[in-house]
Amino acid sequence: MKFWKENGSLCWKHQYETVQITPWGKNALRVRTTKYPAFTSHNWALEEPIPDTAADVSIEIADDGRSDASITNGRLCIHADGSGIMTFCRDGQKFLKEYHRDYDQPSCPESRCLKIRGREYKAIAGGDYTVKLRFESNDGERIYGMGQYQQSYLDLKGCTLELAQRNSQISIPFAVSSLGYGFLWNHPGVGNVVFGKNYTEWEAKAAKQTDYWITVDDTPAKILENYTEVTGRTPMMSEDLLGLWQCKLRYRTQEEVLSVARKYRELGIPLDVIVIDFFHWTRQGDWKFDKDYWPDPKAMCDELHAMGTKVVVSVWPTVDKKSENFGEMLDRGLLIQTEHGSNQTYEFQGDCLTIDLTNPEAQAYLWEKCRKNYYDYGIDMFWLDNAEPDYGAYDFENYRYQLGHALEVSSLYPKLYVRTFFEHTGALSLARCGWAGSQKYASLLWSGDVPSTFESLRDQISAGLNMGLAGIPWWTTDIGGFMTDDVADEDFRELLLRWFEFAVFSPILRMHGDRGPHDIPPLSDKEWGGGSLFTGQPNELWSYGEEAFRIMKKQLDLRLSLRPYIAELMREASETGAPLLRTMFYEFPDDPHCWELEDQYMFGGQYLVAPILHAGQRERRVYLPAGTWKNIADSQICTGGQTIVCPAPLEWIPVFERSL
């Protein structure tokens, strides 16, 4: 065992393992360990220039160079003992320690004969390692962030989370602790984390090293500010995108799109964005409009722009083997490879492979097709769907990218997908997935193809709040959920209205969904092309009857009145990394009860929102923290520091404005 200093880092080697701890931002340290001769050159999520904190850094090594050492950056200190076991302190107080249950430390109270170590490397035959990192658990600790998982739990303590991307699951491995620290698992591959009662365990299925970043500070807001300083912050969102986005599965023709926009104009309803969904193309991987149904995309865009409406078009990364581009892409090695069996990665409406966007040449190829066939016509933004990417089966061990095996790099894919478009347009992209740092490429993430149920609506509250704590401030949902069997069902219409009322107080207000029943005949008998696929029922504000239209129109008016406020929240997000959807404890960290609340939230610092999450519910309990609050529905003034029962008729949900 030997400690040494190297380029401002604390290093040591013990047996076959090398450890390096490097100052990396405010009150933060990056820890890497490996059994290879050297660390890789990848910074993964930590791509931003490192703020200079040299004045706050100190490294101390025992005189014998072996018995112990420590490195401090500001308020964070990591101490290593003579066996290399690490303890983490904030302002001198321990908050975390590696979990070690081995007999090589007889003087340590945690010594056991279990032969369990905090850092474990299990060799993969002929390749890298499966690595595990374990920490002691803290009783009473709460853990948040980690991206989007389809569950109702906001506090993740006790949860097991897969570190992998799936439709409606977005793994962003940054956790915020109630003990005042933030932890980034800086590995873009597949794995798991268990926030257990007995210990916390991070696992990477395939890796050359462990790599994590940790920071401490006084509040979740400051922790998130430290995190986004080193992973990147979102650009400023344009104010003309903060109103209504109109979408459905799917507008099949140019005329359908124009007729919807024209009706909104006739009704005097501003339409900020209209979205053209999938299978407007000839085949997957052609990346172009089917001219039979979209004869003049430029004229369409010109008319929509004249109405003040921006245009978004769907792009999928899947390439049908019958696509006009497939042969060239396969020949040039631009597609994800399969390790075993047939060379197929996706099977919806075609036998497909997926473009390998870890390959810079593939990125350039995709952009050139989309530039020529969409952007040059006036398409403003792109909807990067299936961004995980979606697979016919999530058998990650069967896929290989140019950058490495899927087990080692696949979570990075959606970030590179969005970066491909951002670097050429600087514009927002609507994407179904992301990873740590995606925010800096103007990623607007949404919660995927979720069911149209109140249970699902409840899950989206936790998903959106934890996404914000994982550094993603731009997030949205399909209003009403994605999968609807019968739009005429009154229970669904109630759900739609409650979801719309929630979405008014979210970053983006977006109508979308696959509205059944699917009894609308296709436009063509061909097995391919823009007329071949089914479409869902209408999904515009007027599609659900007079009462629903009246309620949604009034709610939209409320949203539009908030546009300057939301723009200010967008500015704050771009400057500090602050989310728009905020847990109660984010705004009130000193109120213990706010750490227990999981079904209400703050929209920015001014509005407390209490969504209705059950069918037939017409009132609910709302906790108001200390201060003065005004119910925006009836202007009733309430004193904080108490829980009240608030009416919630179908027309509105409880929302309170905070007196600042």
Domains of the chain, first to last: 2-231 (2.60.40.1760), 239-576 (3.20.20.80), 583-658 (2.60.40.1180)
Least confident of 53-57, 115-119, 498-502: 115-119
Helices (H), 470-579: 490-504, 546-561, 563-576
Helix or strand holding residue 446 (H, E): strand 443-446
pLDDT in tens, 80-107: 999 999 999 999 999 999 998 886 665 5
Backbone torsions φ then ψ of 239, nearest 5 degrees: -65, -25
> What is this structure's pTM?
0.97
Q: Which residues are catalytic?
A: 385, 388, 449
Round to whole Å and give the CA distance between 153 and 161.
Answer: 12
Q: What is the pLDDT of residues 164-175, one digit of tens each?
A: 999 999 999 999
Q: What local confidence, expressed as pLDDT, does residue 541 receive?
A: 98
168, 387 in Cβ contact below 8 A? no
Q: Taking 80 as the threshold, does the pLDDT of residue 108 lie above it? A: no
Which has the closest alpha carbon to 190: 161, 233, 147, 217? 161
pLDDT at site 420: 98
**Would you state the structure tokens that stand for residue 484, as one six-digit string?**
């609807």
* Angle at CA of residue 372, ends 368 and 378, nearest 5°: 125
What pLDDT shows up at residue 102?
81
pLDDT at 177 exceeding the cut of 90: yes
Mean pLDDT for the stretch of residues 281-308: 98
Residue 114 pLDDT level (bands cut at 50, 70, 90): confident
pLDDT-derived band of residue 481, with 50, 70 and 90 as boundaries? very high
- Is pLDDT at 196 greater than 80 in this prediction? yes
Taking only the tens place, the pLDDT of each residue in 369-422 is 999 999 999 999 999 999 999 999 999 999 999 999 999 999 999 999 999 999
pLDDT reported for residue 117: 86
Q: Are 456 and 152 in contact (CB under 8 A)?
A: no
Average pLDDT over residues 495-518: 98
pLDDT value at position 106?
Answer: 57
Question: Rounded mean pLDDT of 475-481?
Answer: 98
Amino acid at site 231: T
Span 138-163, mean pLDDT? 98
pLDDT tens column, 513-540? 999 999 999 999 998 999 999 999 999 9
Average pLDDT taken over every residue of the chain? 96
pLDDT of residue 127: 76
Count of CB atoms situated within 10 Å of the CB of 453 = 16
Q: Which residues contact 285 (CB under 8 A, 6 or more apart)?
A: 318, 319, 320, 323, 324, 325, 326, 329, 352, 355
In single-letter form, the type of residue at position 519 comes to D
- Kindly report, residue by residue over 546-603, the tens digit of the pLDDT: 999 999 999 999 999 999 999 999 999 999 999 999 999 999 999 999 999 999 999 9
